[in-house]
Structure 1
């Protein structure tokens, strides 16, 4: 019964953290109603910068009514970026899981590092999607619908596995060994 309570507590903590972060993000998005939010704008600007630095003449144009930023590469429309492309909702999911298994200050360090990694993965994802659209248009749909979501969600799962295996379970195993040694010394 103790294991069930621990699992239930972790699940409730995950859901609570996710809900709080989700509500805060929605409040943030409501501030930008009928406009493009700051995070989406920053990511689109950084993606355009990377494209320009690697030989793809890129400009962006805002369409606030549609809450969209359009990428133009070599003067032609390439992709459009909406709020969902900024990966914040994926980062919220990542954070909720990490903090559900809170292990002190290292949780904060791992969470920060994970957010940076996911942010970079997302920039890479947007960059490569634009390159695919320009150079291999026929692969746009499978790239957008399957390959690129796999990159960002795969990154989340990989980070979760690292967190669980290197920090959560390792610490639990060390506690169990310590308890076993203490028990053996008493016997």
Structure 2
């Protein structure tokens, strides 16, 4: 029964964090969402510019001359993924200081991956526009979600307390020994 309490506690924390997310979003996070979208496009533009591309930003768009290469929609700025990542770490047991450090590092990594994703999509538009939809929907999504899953697994396996075993032990059947 104790194992079920741990799982139920984890699920209740996750639900509370989800509800908190929706309430905070309407009050405060909408402005952060817009800011993050603009910063992501600007950083991606700076990355491409440093690689020799004559790109610029205009109204949240990454552009080459007058052609829009990427338009950053708020849903694509990575904020929801950052919140999902942080929510999982917060819901899982562990010391607060380690959580704060791990979440901060994870959010920075997700941001950098998203900057690379936006820059990659811009290059994709330039060099092989026919594959943009596929790469946007699948390739980059798989890469980012795999990185987030890897960070979650790192937290569970390396940083979460070993007493926080959420996986029940296998039931062994009769042996023939």
TM-score under structure 1 length normalisation? 0.80
- Larger RCO (CA within 8 A; separation ≥ 6): 2
The aligned residue for residue 7 of structure 1 is: 7
Q: CA deviation at 1:74?
A: 4.3
The aligned residue for residue 48 of structure 1 is: 45
- Give the SS at the match of 2:139: helix
RMSD: 2.1
Question: Is the 8 Å Cα contact of residues 85 and 152 (structure 2) preserved in structure 1?
Answer: yes
Unaligned runs of 5+ in 2: 166-177
Structure 1 runs of 4+ with >6 Å offset: none
Q: Distance in 2 between matches of 1:140 and 1:24?
A: 33
Question: Is the 8 Å Cα contact of residues 13 and 100 (structure 1) preserved in structure 2?
Answer: yes
- Give the SS at the match of 1:39: helix
Q: Of 102, 112, 121, which aligns to 2:113?
A: 121
Q: Distance in 2 between matches of 1:7 and 1:112?
A: 25
Deviations 1:130-175, CA, capped at 9 Å, x for gaps: 111111112111101111111221111111111111122xx31699
| Number of equivalent positions | 164
Structure 1 residues 173 and 16: alpha-carbon distance in aligned structure 2, compared to 1, 3 A threshold: closer
Report matched runs for 1:1-187 at 5 Å: 1-30=1-30, 37-62=34-59, 69-104=60-95, 105-168=97-160, 171-172=161-162
Question: Is the 8 Å Cα contact of residues 15 and 96 (structure 1) preserved in structure 2?
Answer: no
Whichever structure has more helix as a proportion of its residues is 1
Q: Distance in 2 between matches of 1:28 and 1:54?
A: 36
Deviations 1:40-97, CA, capped at 9 Å, x for gaps: 11111111111111122112221xxxxxx22212442212111112100011110110
TM-score under structure 2 length normalisation? 0.84
- Give the SS at the match of 1:148: helix
Unaligned runs of 5+ in 1: 63-68, 176-187
